[in-house]
Every structure is written in structure tokens, then in C-alpha cells.
Amino acid sequence: MAILILTSLSLLAVGIFFIPEIVLAGMCALLILMSTIIAPKKIPALLKQLLFLLVFLIPLFIIKSLVYSDGQVIPLGFINIYYEGMMNGARSSLRVFTLFCAVFFTLKALFPLEKYKDEYSKIRALAIVFWALEMFPEMTGAVGQVIKERRANHAKGIASLLDGLYRKGLEAPKKDDPKPE
């Protein structure tokens, strides 16, 4: 039984990038429903874990939304957010949420919390790993370009790195701006 569960979770982790979002949302809802049916006394603990996961999903959504700079612009105060970036952030958040729900709720259903407390802390670490994997492509690309510019200008320190990322965000080409003549 354990091998079957681990195999299905592994297939989910690999195939999650190819599953449509509506199916992922349905899977999340089904996993939450199953876990509440199996262990209704653990609903407060499950809600606490979901709140913990939201702490990681909010920055993921924000950074994915701000890094992506193509498509329809939605002005939000002094920041321009792109619709495609928001959708990209939502997809990434949903993938992380589904993987977390699948792993965590499966373990919650199979093993009692009292005996396996240490394993649940590993699941939190797994959520952080999923989050980092979703963030990796955008962050490495942006940070890599800023580091190259810093080397060219002989700038050092974390302050110059953050300043470079901020300037890069301000200088991002905007599709709706008229071309200078």
C-alpha cells in the first residue's frame, strides 16, 4: 500500500506541470474533502497547515506576477502588473498547493500525528522545496543578469544586488508605452 501511494505521489510530482489547472483545483478540493472525512477531529490542525502554506504562496504569486512582463497591463498604483504574469503566479501557486496537499493529507490520513510528529516537520521542509523549485527559474535569471552588471561596474555587497534588481524592474520594457521618436 505504501509503495502504491509513494508511486502515485511521484507521478503527480512529475506530471503536475502537464495537468490542466481545473483538474489541479479539483484534486485539491477532493484531497481536502477526503482528509476531513477520514479525520474530522483534525480539521483545526489541517487549517493551520494550510495557513502555513499560504505564507509561502503569497510571495511566490507576487514575485511571479512582477517578474513576467508580457501581455495585457493592469495598472495597480505605481506598479504595472501583467495579466499573464498573474496567471503564471496563480498556476505556480496551485501546483505547489496541490503537491503539498497530496503529500501532507495522504500522510495525515495514513499516520497518526502523535507518533509521526518529526515526519510532519519534514513535510513543511518539502513545501519550502516545492516553493523554491517554482521560484528558481525567474530568480536565477534576474539575479544572474544583475550580478553580471555588478561585475562590469565593480560593485559589491548585497545592497548593490538589491539596487540592481530594483532598477531592472523599473527599466523593464512596457508594451503599452509609445516608442520614442
Average pLDDT, whole number, for the chain?
A: 66
Q: How many residues does the chain have?
A: 181
**CA 101 → CA 37, 97, 120, distances in Å?**
15, 6, 12
pLDDT greater than 70 at residue 48: yes
User: pLDDT value at position 133?
Assistant: 61
User: pLDDT value at position 136?
Assistant: 58
Task: Put residue 77 in one of left, alpha, beta given phi > 0 → left and psi -120 to 50 → alpha.
Answer: left
* Helices 117-153, 158-170: crossing angle, 10 deg rounding: 80
User: pLDDT value at position 171?
Assistant: 59
User: pLDDT value at position 91?
Assistant: 78
Taking the model in full, what pTM does it have?
0.49
User: pLDDT value at position 96?
Assistant: 75
Contact 64, 92 (CB under 8 A): yes
| Segment 21-26 mean pLDDT | 75
C-alpha cell at 134: 517554482
Percent of the chain with pLDDT over 70: 36
41-45, 87-91, 135-139: least confidently modelled range: 135-139
pLDDT greater than 60 at residue 17: yes
| Segment 145-172 mean pLDDT | 61
Q: What is the phi/psi pair of residue 62, to 5°?
A: -65, -50
pLDDT digits (tens, 9 = 90+) for 169-179: 655 555 555 55
Contact 181, 158 (CB under 8 A): no
User: pLDDT value at position 67?
Assistant: 67
Identify the three-state secondary structure at position 81: strand
Going by C-alpha positions, the residue among 147, 148, 142, 131 that lies closest to residue 170 is 142
pLDDT digits (tens, 9 = 90+) for 91-143: 777 777 777 777 666 666 555 555 655 665 666 666 666 666 655 555 556 56
User: pLDDT value at position 156?
Assistant: 59
| Segment 22-41 mean pLDDT | 74
User: pLDDT value at position 154?
Assistant: 58
* Helices 117-153, 43-67: crossing angle, 10 deg rounding: 10
